Amino acid sequence: MAKKPKAAPTRKAKAGRTDRKKTPRTSVWRRLFWLARFAAIALIWLAVAGFAILAFYAYDLPDVEALESPKAGPALTLLAEDGSTVAHFGRYFTGSVPLSDMPPYLPIALLATEDRRFYSHFGVDPIGLLRAALANYRAGRVVQGGSTITQQLAKNLYLSPERTVRRKIQEVVLALWLEVKYTKDEILALYLNRVYFGAGAYGVGAAAARYFDKDVGELTLGEAAMLAGLVKAPSRYAPTSDLALARARAEQVLANMVDAGFISDADAKRGDARRIKLSAPRDVTRNTRYFADWIVDELADYISTTDDDLVIVTTLDPAMQRAAEAAVAATLGESGKKQAIGQGALLAMTPDGAVRAMVGGRDYAASSYNRAVSARRQPGSAFKLFVYTAALENGMRPSDRVVDGPISIDGWKPKNYRGDYKGEMTLKESFSQSVNTVAVQLSERAGRKNVIDAAERLGIRSELRNHPSIALGTSEVSLLELTAAYGTVAADGRAVLPFGIVEIRGAESGRVLYRRRGSGLGRVVDRRIDDQLRDMLRSVIVSGTGRGADPGRPAAGKTGTSQDFRDAWFIGFTPELVAGVWFGNDDASPMKNVTGGGAPARTWGRFVRAALEGKPVHDFDAGPLLADGGGDGDWRESIWQTIRSAIDSAISGGGNAAGSGSAGSGSRTAPANRPAPSDFPADNRR
């Protein structure tokens, strides 16, 4: 009988031992322990990373000690040919002014406008940033900035306006360091003594002297508000650029001070910005700034970048400048309202291209846009010089007979100023009487490409459209280039490059960085043809449309009137002087029957008589010789002259690197809302 297997022995539990299960409380504490351990490690690594990032962005931070000895960019002093001061640009710094020497309403005007929480934040204002972000979001555009005064001071330490994430982080780091190193009052004083106030003024002391000819402590509440309003956009709000806009900005600052509780409504009324008056520089006329702006804009073509203060000797003749300003002002005063003439410009140069006078508009304080240099307008019949140049170069003569009669080119039927036709006449007569139909015939016969070539050789750099109406001046040009082109005829057919700089030297060292040695461009028009052109231009003043320009001495010139009397010109010369005059409106609205033979011709004659008063009278045949000489060969010789000129310029110290910064205050952009010119002119061009 089989044995029954034994059952597996069972283990008896020991006395006092029971199975334990993990409770929820134990699990929570263990998790908290590991979480705290991880957080500690993460914080350590974050701290290491933070210090590494801080070191990365801070290693090349600028020295904050530079704040205590501020120095702005290089100063530019422009001198006229007689040594008198034309203008002063760039650094205008009178030294640091302690906060205690400033009127109390100057700092609070700045705080009310730029940083009301200045004494509450630590250099960066998170509340201000959120408020600015919300305001910008609601407006759909940037209407507020979140930078504190400390951040703006930090930004001021950098020489270049770089806009990168790295630069922004560095500015924040620097702002935090400034808050540690300086007190709030010290930061505010440093800011007011470094910030740019426009018109070349760095620091509140320079601004008070530049705009009001006062010490800082003498500023009124309204003047302080005006200065505080400039720091946001000094070029735009500078009172020398737009006094009305600067006054409106000052009124806003006063309103901000009331809103912040810094002053009362009665105080704000006493600070009425409408009563603020500027102190103009004593040694220059206001409109000389048109010339000064042009010079500084051209400076980069002459020398490389430098930190040294510079003295620039220019070609400006103060007496001629005053005569030019008086001539334009007189015409605008006599005929401005009556004939709806809003603006005028005048440019004068010697036949070698040295610019002696420049008027870029009615009033520089109202508008710094230079209509003598930057504006491009239709020259009308003043462009016919190039048509007749091309015709003479293609074999025609001033005595050749032409017919003034109806013509049609591709459906376009040009007409004369008075709508009549004179029949057969000489080429010279058609020019002096500014006959449109003959000019168009000559342009088509000589070839429009040859007309454009002639214009470009004589000095026109603007784009010229190859269209039948080019003969009547439908392509826009500037007064500067058109006057220089006529100067080529005055210069015996030698190309003229307008210039305004004679010498550039270091203000302290006296070292000459550039000295002019002549243009050397050579002949671009054959001597015989140049003589014929000059004779035809003389007939315009003697018996043609330009009789009103007669200055009482030998002179030559041409009238120009664009479509619907939108532009009126007179460009002419004597043996000693070349000058151009333009009148019109910035929005190209029509004037009232203003032709080139009217207001421009009278202004030209008035200016030339005053500019040359007391000087010997020369005829063209016996005129003074040009300083830069030139050969009598074919105009193609000019290419060799150009090469020699480039070599001379290099030897003289000229360069092509960037020059100084902004020359002046205010908007110098072209006025808006001007209609595009038409290729098909009306019948009133003359």
51-64 pLDDT, tens digit each: 666 555 555 555 55
- Evaluate the CA torsion angle 62, 68, 72, 74 in order and state its sign: negative
Of the candidates 264, 275, 272, the one whose C-alpha atom is nearest the C-alpha of residue 108 is 264
d(CA 669, CA 370): 9
| Averaged pLDDT for residues 243-256 | 92
CA angle, corner 616, sides to 612 and 620, nearest 5?
90
Q: All domains of the chain, ordered by start, with CATH? A: 68-73+95-275 (1.10.3810.10), 287-377+479-530+549-671 (3.40.710.10), 378-477 (3.40.710.10)
| pLDDT, mean over the chain | 82
Over residues 187-218, the pLDDT tens digits come to 999 999 888 887 767 789 888 988 888 899 99
Over residues 143-152, the pLDDT tens digits come to 556 688 988 8
Q: Between 151 and 614, where is the model more confident?
A: 614
d(CA 56, CA 69): 27
Of the candidates 442, 328, 306, the one whose C-alpha atom is nearest the C-alpha of residue 381 is 442
Q: Is the pLDDT of residue 464 over 80?
A: yes
Counting runs of H as helices and runs of E as strands, what totals does the chain give? 21, 12
The token duo for 663 is: 């020359």
pLDDT at 454: 98
d(CA 372, CA 500): 14
Strand partners, 675: none
pLDDT at 248: 93
Q: How far apart are the first and last CA of the chain?
A: 148
Q: Is the pLDDT of residue 368 over 70?
A: yes
Q: Is the pLDDT of residue 416 over 90?
A: yes
Over residues 370-408, the pLDDT tens digits come to 999 999 999 999 999 999 999 999 999 999 999 999 999
- Evaluate the CA torsion angle 110, 114, 119, 124 in order and state its sign: negative
Task: Write out the E strands in 493-634.
Answer: 501-506, 512-515, 556-561, 567-573, 578-584
Over residues 288-308, the pLDDT tens digits come to 989 998 998 888 788 866 667
Residue whose tokens read 């005007």 = 109
Residue whose tokens read 């200016």 = 607
19 contacts: CB under 8 Å, gap ≥ 6: none
357 contacts: CB under 8 Å, gap ≥ 6: 291, 316, 317, 320, 321, 323, 324, 346, 347, 348, 579, 607, 611
| Averaged pLDDT for residues 647-657 | 38
Q: Alpha helix (H) ranges present in 66-212?
A: 105-114, 126-139, 149-156, 165-181, 184-194, 204-212
Of the candidates 318, 311, 310, the one whose C-alpha atom is nearest the C-alpha of residue 288 is 318
Over residues 235-245, the pLDDT tens digits come to 788 887 678 88
d(CA 187, CA 68): 10
| CA-to-CA dists, residue 302 to 264, 427, 651, 659, angstroms | 54, 44, 12, 8
| CA-to-CA dists, residue 4 to 1, 7, 9, 328, angstroms | 9, 9, 15, 139
pLDDT at 362: 94
Which amino acid would we find at residue 181? K
pLDDT at 144: 58
